């Protein structure tokens, strides 16, 4: 265990833990955008910045992203002050210029007293805040179908060469994790469309309900070594089937004892 000080309070933390986890456990509200428990931190949004110092640093302070900074013995952390407020506010101000129509961004910016960006709205702005949550969750799933492409202000999240990603299995993880709902998808009839790629949805053999894409099912079957007919029925029907089987077993067992 490591002992450190956060906003004047001494706390204990596990070695290797990141500052942000400790801060959140204490119930302190530090804003984040790109942080998500399911994925590795990358420090894109910079909102979780805190100021750190140590007793022997002679009053010298350093701003670090708490999501990436591992806890250290004797560390003195400050999560809110004028400088940090200014950094967070400017970041949101900049995002407001790029994504003026995003509810997510406008709400966060409003908390810092920003109604309109100090900067001119960007003509090519969209709702993507470049938090990489989508690409990171895709990496976690082992597909890495999409990635940040291009550079600087032109950077976008896309498949290889800007085309429909060949490795995408239409699992929708990216769309669900996206904090600004920027990743669009739709299911029409038996077809799912995402990233300009079309997928066929599996129809439950029993009830006819559409479940997941064929590609996603095949991937899971292969990866988790599931039986090949595993996804032929939907979850509900599968549960029903199990319940029926169990019921039959119970009846049989009862009959046997009588």
Partner 1 sequence: MKIDSITKLDKWRKEILTKQKTIKTKVLICLGPGCLAGGSDLILKEFQTLLKKKKIKDISVESVKKTGCHGFCARGPLVIIEPLGIFYSKVKKMHVKDIIEKTLQKGEIIEKLLYKDPNTEKIYKEWRKIPFYARQQKIALRNVGQIDPDEITDYIANGGYAALAKILKSMKPDDVIEQVSKSGLRGRGGAGFSTGRKWATCAKAEENPHYVLCNGDEGDPGAFMDRCIMEGDPHTVLEGMIICAYAVGSQEGYIYVREEYPLAVVNLQKAIDDARKYGLLGDNILGTDLCFDLKISKGGGAFVCGESSALMRSVAGEIGEPRAKYVRSVLKGLHDKPTVLNNVETFANIPVIIEKGADWFSAIGTKKSTGTKAFSLAGKIKNTGLIEVPMGIKLKEIIYDIGGGINDNREFKAVQTGGPSGGCLPADKLDLEVDFDTLADNGSMMGSGGMVVMDDRTCMVDVSRYFLNFLVEESCGKCVPCREGLFQLHKLNEKICEGKGTEDDLKLMENLSETIISGSLCGLGQSGPNPFLSTIMYFRDEYEAHVNKQECPGGVCKNLITYRINDDCNGCMACLSVCAAGAIKGKKKEQHIIDEVKCDRCGACFAVCNINAIDII
- Subset of residues 119 to 138 that bind partner 1, contact rule: CB under 8 A: 119-120, 122, 129-130, 132
What distance separates the 2 farthest-apart alpha carbons in the chain?
84
Residue 194 makes contact with partner 1 by CB under 8 A: no
Site string for partner 1, 90-109 (x = CB under 8 A): xx--xx-xx-----------
Shortest Cβ 105–partner 1 spacing (Å): 11
Q: Rounded to an integer, what distance in angstroms lies between the CA atom of residue 53 and that of residue 76?
A: 5
Shortest Cβ 2–partner 1 spacing (Å): 15
Shortest Cβ 168–partner 1 spacing (Å): 18
Helix (H) or strand (E) holding 186: strand 185-188
Residue 153 makes contact with partner 1 by CB under 8 A: yes
Burial class (CB in 10 A: 0-12, 13-18, 19+), 146: buried
Structure tokens at 232: 């032929």
CB 249, CB 220: distance < 8 Å: no
Shortest Cβ 125–partner 1 spacing (Å): 10
Nearer to partner 1, 5 or 42 (CB): 42
Residue 87 makes contact with partner 1 by CB under 8 A: yes
Instruction: Read off the DSSP letter of residue 124.
Output: T
Report which of 35, 84, 90, 93 is spatially closest to residue 62, judged by C-alpha positions.
84
Residue holding tokens 């013995």? Answer: 73
Q: Rounded to an integer, what distance in angstroms lies between the CA atom of residue 135 and that of residue 137?
A: 6
Site string for partner 1, 19-58 (x = CB under 8 A): -----------------------xxxxx--x---------
Shortest Cβ 66–partner 1 spacing (Å): 11
CB neighbours (10 Å) of residue 246?
A: 10
Nearer to partner 1, 69 or 216 (CB): 69
- Residues touching partner 1, count (CB under 8 A): 36
CB neighbours (10 Å) of residue 71?
A: 23
Residues at the interface with partner 1 (CB under 8 A): 42-46, 49, 63-65, 68-70, 83, 86-87, 90-91, 94-95, 97-98, 118-120, 122, 129-130, 132, 147-148, 150-155
């Amino acid at each position: 265990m490591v002992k450190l000080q956060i906003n004047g309070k001494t706390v204990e933390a596990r070695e290797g833990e990141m500052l942000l986890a400790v801060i959140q456990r204490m119930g302190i509200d530090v804003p984040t955008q790109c942080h998500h428990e399911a994925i590795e931190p990358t420090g894109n949004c910079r909102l979780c910045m805190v100021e750190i110092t140590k007793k022997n640093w002679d009053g010298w302070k350093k701003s670090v992203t708490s999501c990436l900074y591992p806890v250290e013995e004797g560390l003195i952390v400050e999560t809110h002050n004028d400088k940090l407020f200014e950094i967070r506010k400017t970041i949101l101000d900049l995002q407001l210029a790029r994504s003026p129509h995003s509810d997510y961004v406008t709400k966060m910016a409003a908390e810092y007293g920003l109604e309109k960006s100090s900067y001119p709205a960007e003509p090519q702005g969209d709702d993507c805040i470049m938090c990489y949550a989508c690409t990171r969750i895709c990496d976690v799933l082992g597909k890495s179908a999409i990635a940040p492409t291009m550079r600087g202000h032109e950077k976008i999240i896309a498949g290889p060469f800007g085309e429909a990603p060949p490795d995408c299995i239409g699992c929708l993880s990216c769309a669900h994790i996206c904090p600004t709902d920027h990743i669009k998808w739709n299911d029409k009839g038996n077809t799912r469309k995402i990233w300009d790629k079309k997928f066929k949805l599996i129809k439950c053999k029993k009830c006819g309900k559409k479940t997941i894409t064929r590609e996603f099912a095949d991937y899971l079957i292969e990866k988790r070594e599931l039986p090949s007919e595993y996804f032929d029925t939907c979850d509900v029907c599968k549960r029903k089937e199990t319940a029926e089987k169990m019921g039959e077993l119970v009846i049989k067992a009862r009959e046997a004892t009588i």
